[in-house]
Amino acid sequence: MATDTCVFDSSDSVRSAVPLKYAQHVTFKEPLALKEGGSLPSVRVTFETYGTLNAKADNAILVCHALSGDSHVARHVPDDTVGWWEIVVGPGKPIDTDRYFVICPNLLGGCRGTTGPNSLNPETGRPYGPDFPVITVRDMVEVQKLLVEHLGIRRLRAVVGGSLGGQVALTWATQLPEMVAGTVALATSPRLTSQAMAFDVVGRNAILRDPAYQDGQYYGNGPGPTVGLSIARMLGHITYLSREAMIEKFDAHRMQPRQVQTQFETRFSVGSYLAYQGDKFVERFDANSYLALTMAIDLFDLGDTREEIRQSLASSQCRWLLMSFSTDWLFPPFQSEKMVAALIAEQKPISYCSVKSNCGHDAFLLADDLPIYGEMMRAFLANLDRADRAPADDTVEETALDELSCQDPTSIFHSRRLDYDSIIELIPTGASVLDLGCGNGGLLTRLRRHGCRQIIGIELDERAIVACVRRGLDVVQGDLDHGLSAFADGQFDFVVLSQTLQAVMDVPGVLKEILRVGRQGIISFPNIGYWKLRKHLYEEGRAPRAGSLLGYQWYNSPNVRFLSIADFEDFCSDNKIKIHQQVALDTEAGCKVHDDPNLNADMAIVVISR
């Protein structure tokens, strides 16, 4: 998105107020009681659909737009207007309209067909304007429920949305749990940060204090608060982009503004961009809708602490996929991570990735990071499918996944993981397991086949996470050196740290966390006491290394800790850690070692507990 030609192509506003040629409309004539009080006498919903509802009516996906979106999520025919999520929704795309029946309604309070402040108030015969009641995201969901039922759907395959759309998806999952099989929420949060809320406040003040706002009844009286709405929109645009993206877009030509017809300042490149965005927006958006929707966003609140968020999410019965974007400072990743922790604490099936991105909040609308977030979504949706069918054939999967060999930064072996066999032997069928540094999910897949019930992986690498989600595994992005704070005390029967201890900086911290979260820990590591390594240092006077075991040099190894079995035993004894079982391997010979493991084994697997 850094090229010159697309300076003004923020995907959130590529279209001006085009007619919604393929939109459908339905009016619900019962009064709708609102959560903050008051009611609406009737509600009209404008929506578009894509694909075909199957006979069981179980392939419907509800797509929820963000603040300034509408029902036109994608093209219906090749020469149709481009939709706001064209790259995600369509035949063969991550939300595949060849497989799914996609519904995208305009949100309650919007200004593109669904009842909002610019709708006629049947009680007065003029637009609601400032009399439009305070609406919440819960009200929006209530209206969408009416639509979904109207379409003959009792349970949605998935609800998908980003930003405000993500708040809507979160609300579906918790408010109507029995109606949602899967929830995909991107670039969203349990509630806004005070910083994000502050921008909304300033934007609303700009509208409310614009004299042309006329206390909200500007319809038919001039153009309305176009200056205030433009100011709000300019501000919004700053927050949708990352600093890095703005530097890329504007810095090289900061003093060369584009030629824009505007009454706003255009001295600088970024100024002409903002002026353009502000002016364009007022052509297609209603200021009262802006007020209503941003207020709903600001009022959205699943809580701040994990306990509060747990309570909010406890009712959900769906599978979860959450994604955030590293440079999104409006809905920063740490907020998604709070929800992840809450869902884990509630033992809900959850996968999560903070996608490394340059694009800021807008990332979820842009093509730049689609290879990660789109594929994650596609894989997640496919496994919602599969949950209705026979259990997955893991063998086939593994073969298919070989091509997706991402480099696991902590793996020592480049070939088959010999320690897996022994680890699986140590874990009884039915146990719950957390696998730290789970890579592509090889061990987790085998544990699933082994009959383990709650199995979760932690992994840092994005592509490995995609691979795990493809396998239908629950995997959460995380860095071991930052602890396991997402997990509750004693949440798992076993926590596995296979071939990773030697790459961990804070060894005591990680082991402490393992023994807090798991009733037992299973730790496998290479043994520096192995006779070949001893001999090498002793005779050669060179740092220990031995082909298959430590295939690195002293200067480029990801491994930063060197320990022998005896060292580990000493550590356990000093720290009152119990050793229950110990398996020693000679991986070159491919056998277990019983005689003097500290000398004869090149790898150890130790089962510990407090």
Enumerate residues 332-351 that contact its own copies by CB under 8 A.
332
Closest contact distance (angstroms) between CB of 268 and its own copies is 6
Residue closer to its own copies (CB basis): 201 or 591: 201
**Span of 47-55, 340-348, 488-496, 565-573 interacting with its own copies by CB under 8 A:** 565-573
Residue type at 383? N
DSSP type of residue 225: S
**Is position 556 an interface residue for its own copies (rule: CB under 8 A)?**
yes
**Is position 161 an interface residue for its own copies (rule: CB under 8 A)?**
no
Q: Which two tokens stand for residue 215?
A: 């206390």
Residue closer to its own copies (CB basis): 393 or 538: 538
**Is position 260 an interface residue for its own copies (rule: CB under 8 A)?**
no
Closest by CA position to 108, among listed 137, 80, 72:
137
DSSP type of residue 486: T
Residue from the set 70, 598, 604, 605 that interacts with its own copies by CB under 8 A: 598
Active site includes 298? no
**Is position 241 an interface residue for its own copies (rule: CB under 8 A)?**
yes
Residues 200-219 that bind its own copies (CB under 8 A): 201-202, 204-206, 208-209, 211
Residues 509-548 that bind its own copies (CB under 8 A): 528-529, 533-535, 537-538, 540-544
Tell me phi and psi for residue 223, to 5 degrees: -75, -5
CA dihedral 472, 476, 477, 481 (to 10 degrees): -140
| C-alpha distances out from residue 95 to 74, 90, 467, 538, Å | 11, 7, 18, 60
**Span of 190-198, 385-393, 442-450, 489-497 interacting with its own copies by CB under 8 A:** 190-198
Contact (Cβ atoms closer than 8 angstroms) between residue 493 and residue 433: yes
Residue from the set 80, 131, 567, 586 that interacts with its own copies by CB under 8 A: 567
How far apart are alpha carbons 184 and 182 in whole angstroms? 7
Active site includes 98? no
Tell me phi and psi for residue 16, to 5 degrees: -85, -175
Residue closer to its own copies (CB basis): 304 or 425: 304
Judged by CB under 8 A, how many residues of this single chain contact its own copies? 75
**Is position 138 an interface residue for its own copies (rule: CB under 8 A)?**
no
Closest contact distance (angstroms) between CB of 531 and its own copies is 9
**Is position 263 an interface residue for its own copies (rule: CB under 8 A)?**
yes
Closest contact distance (angstroms) between CB of 329 and its own copies is 7
**Is position 460 an interface residue for its own copies (rule: CB under 8 A)?**
no
Contacts 24+ apart (CB under 8 A), 373-378: 373/186, 373/323, 373/325, 374/87, 374/88, 374/93, 374/94, 375/94, 375/466, 376/321, 376/323, 376/351, 376/465, 376/466, 376/469, 377/88, 377/94, 377/95, 377/160, 377/184, 377/321, 378/94, 378/95, 378/96
Q: Could you count the other beta carbons within 10 Å of the beta carbon of residue 591?
A: 11
User: Which among 10, 163, 269, 354 is annotated as catalytic?
Assistant: 163
Residue closer to its own copies (CB basis): 259 or 415: 259
User: Which among 328, 369, 435, 602 is annotated as catalytic?
Assistant: 328
Residue closer to its own copies (CB basis): 30 or 570: 570
Active site includes 361? yes
String of DSSP letters for 438-468: -TTSHHHHHHHHTT-SSEEEEES-HHHHHHH
Residues 391-410 that bind its own copies (CB under 8 A): none
Residues with catalytic roles: 163, 328, 361
